[in-house]
Amino acid sequence: MPKASIAITFAQLRVGDVAGFAQKFSPKMVAGFAKLSGNYNPLHTDPVFAAKTEFKKPIAYGMQAGALFSRLLGMYLPGKYGICLSQTLSFHKPIYFNTKVSVEGKVLQKVESLHLAKIETKIFNSADNELLVSGEALVKLLK
């Protein structure tokens, strides 16, 4: 992770630009999200409960995956001059503990008059490149 946000301006941003990073969903990270969100649903926190579900073991929070898009937009694409106005999320597959993922963004469109960018957001399982989460973000660039 960069020590400081990337500083891409609207003029520098290009349709087709891509950025990303990798993240592992450790049990500690999932437990931290439970504490932060106050959501202690046993599907995420109780292996005995989760074993009796279709998932067979605990899964990470979907909104935790969505939070990684916040990091993508705020730190990498476009970085410090961007403010996220909206983010859609589609959850395709569960993310199990200790899964390493690739978080990726791609600029799809720019709206010059409003300094807006539409960015495709995706999370893949790093082991098999399976799509886990997808969406689109609408980002306003302040500079």
Q: Stretch 123-131: mean pLDDT, rounded?
A: 97
Across the range 125-137, mean pLDDT stands at 98
Give 136's strand partners.
120
- Report which of 11, 139, 19 is spatially closest to residue 87, judged by C-alpha positions: 139
75-107 confidence digits (pLDDT tens): 999 999 999 999 999 999 999 999 999 999 999
Tell me which of 3.10.129.10, 1.10.3720.10, 3.30.930.10, 3.30.9.10 is the CATH number of domain 18-141: 3.10.129.10
Average pLDDT, the chain: 95
Question: How far apart are the C-alpha atoms of 122 and 106, rounded to whole Å?
Answer: 9
Of the candidates 101, 110, 111, 109, the residue with the CA atom closest to the CA atom of residue 134: 101
At 1, the pLDDT band (50, 70, 90 cuts) reads low
Adjacent-strand bridge partners of 22 = 102
Residue 2's pLDDT band, with cuts at 50, 70 and 90, is: low
Q: In which element (H, E) is residue 49 found?
A: helix 47-51
**What are the sequence ranges of the domains in the chain?**
18-141
pLDDT bracket for residue 129 (50, 70, 90): very high
Q: Which residues pair with 86 in a beta bridge?
A: 138
Residues 6+ apart with CB under 8 A from 94: 55, 59, 60, 132
pLDDT at 4: 78
Say if CB 13 and CB 84 are below 8 A apart: no
Could you tell me which of 126, 128, 143 has the C-alpha nearest to residue 68? 126
pTM: 0.93
pLDDT band at 5 (very low <50, low <70, confident <90, very high): confident
DSSP, residue by residue, 90-120: EE-S--BTT-EEEEEEEEEEEEGGGTEEEEE
CA dihedral 113, 76, 39, 87 (to 10 degrees): 20
